[in-house]
Amino acid sequence: MRRLRTTAVALLTTPALTGLAACSSDDGPDDGSSGGSAGSSSGEAGAPTAAASDTPPALGRPRPAQRAISVEACPPGEGELTARGTVRNREKKARDFVLTIEWLDEQSKVAASKVAVLEAVPPGEPTPWEVSATLDVVTTACTARASSGSLLD
C-alpha cells in the first residue's frame, strides 16, 4: 500500500534532489527577517497516510523527477502555508518519490523546508501530495524539487 511520509526541517538544503519549480511574489514587506519554523503536514482526503521523519530518506538509483511533479499551489507569504499538487509516475514500475518544498525569504535563503515521501507510486496514476509549514517570516518564493528511486530504509 502507498503511504506518504513528511518531514519538517527548518533551514535545510537538500542537494541530493534535482529539478526545480518555483513561484514568487514581490508583495512582502522588507523587514530583513530570516528564519522560520516548519509545521506539521497532512494528506488530502483519500491521499496516502502521513508519518513524520527527521531527515529526508536516501534513494537508491535516484533520478530527477521534475517532469513527474505537478504543483497546484505553492504560495509565498507568512503564517500557515500549504503547498499541494500531484506526482505522476512515468516509469513502467512503481517508484518511490521524494519531494522537497522550500520557502525562501527576501534574501533567497531557505526560511523553511518540508520533505514529502510518496512510496510505491503506481505508473500513470496521479498521486496527490500536500505539505504545510508555519512561517514566522515573510517569504517571497516557494520552490519544489523531486527525485524518484527506491527508498533504502
Rounded CA-CA distance 128/100 in Å is: 14
Rounded to 5°, the CA angle 100-106-110 comes to 25
Per-residue pLDDT tens over the stretch 67-122: 999 999 999 999 999 999 999 999 999 999 999 999 999 999 999 999 999 999 99
Domain spans, the chain: 3-151
Query: Is 65 strand, coil or helix?
Result: coil
Cell triple for 99: 519531494
What pLDDT digit, counting tens, does each position of 8-64 carry? 433 333 333 333 444 433 333 333 333 333 333 333 434 443 333 446 789 999 999
User: DSSP label at 58?
Assistant: P
The topology (CATH level 3) of 3-151 is Immunoglobulin-like (2.60.40)
pTM: 0.68
